[in-house]
Amino acid sequence: MGDNAPIGIYDSGLGGLTVVKEVLSLLPGEDIIYFGDTGRTPYGSRPTAEILGFMHEILTFFSAQKVKMAITACNTMTALGLEQAKTEFPFLLIGVNNGVSAALAASRSKRIGVIATEATINSGKHVKAIKAEDPAAYVCPQACPSFVPLIEQEKLFGPEIETSAREYLQPLIDSGVDALILGCTHYPFISPLIRDIMGPEVVLIDPARETAAEARTKLAHNDKLATRAQGRVRLCFSADLPRAERVTACAIDFPRSQGLAPRFELVNLQDFYLEV
Ligand code: DGL
């Protein structure tokens, strides 16, 4: 039967676009509504209660859009709020894949690095998941608090991000990891820099593809895959559309010639929150 209702994908800002890219390639028939909270990013160094409040507002917006599924394209909100939110909203809800199985499969030494926001690292989510799959594995978790603000400011190259990256990644190099989980959806934007610093022996794990695959599996199990060949894309942000448009162009190559250009929209979450 299928279901042609849209899929919501959301993040604290622009990072979730790295997941949108994979969903577009795996599920081209789906209508997608992306929400990036560019007005309040970053989330990862904020108190948990505040992050959960923001997440609730975004999911309320998606409720109003009548989505059939929402993909939490943010490790921070996945780690802190996903299980609770699943009980509060009527649509299918998934988080970012944690990258653990892929990292363990790729690692020969079973020494795994994890880089993420402070909130995600403090949640201990990746360490627990790695230890659950392989209790003998060694894990080196590293919070990288300046990455998200710099990426949001479009500083994907240059001395500022390079200095931060060298500082954050040195302990991982010192501890001899051979697989590194990008535990924040913003980080694939700077994977060339991370790869340069870590060296060719270290496999970078970006769980975006796996996240899109999980969405497809869940939709298929619930008989909710779209029945059309080509969906439409709305990209909604809470602030600064020109910046969102520029960064989207770095992340996703929309085949505009076929009329598939996304629609950019400024959205005030409060308009939807107060209605409910
Ligand atoms: N992309 C978000 C994540 O995956 C970044 C959160 C933040 O804004 O700090 O965690």
Q: 263-266 and 7-11: which strand pairing? A: unpaired
Q: Do domains 7-96+209-271 and 100-206 have the same CATH topology?
A: yes
What are the residue boundaries of the structural domains of the chain, listed by start?
7-96+209-271, 100-206
Q: What is the pLDDT of residue 204?
A: 98
- Ligand 1 geometric centre to CA of 97 (Å): 14
Tens of pLDDT, residues 234-253: 999 999 999 999 999 989 98
| Fold annotation for 100-206 | Rossmann fold (3.40.50)
The pTM is what? Answer: 0.96
Ligand 1 pocket by Cβ (under 6 Å) = 11-13, 15, 41-44, 74-76, 117, 120, 148, 184-186
Q: In the prediction, which pLDDT does 259 show?
A: 60
* Amino acid identity, position 88: E
Contact by Cβ (8 Å): 235, 244: yes
Distance 89 CA to ligand 1 centre (A): 22
Class of domain 7-96+209-271: alpha beta
H-helix or E-strand spanning residue 63: helix 48-64
pLDDT digits (tens, 9 = 90+) for 122-164: 999 999 999 999 999 999 999 999 999 999 999 999 999 999 9
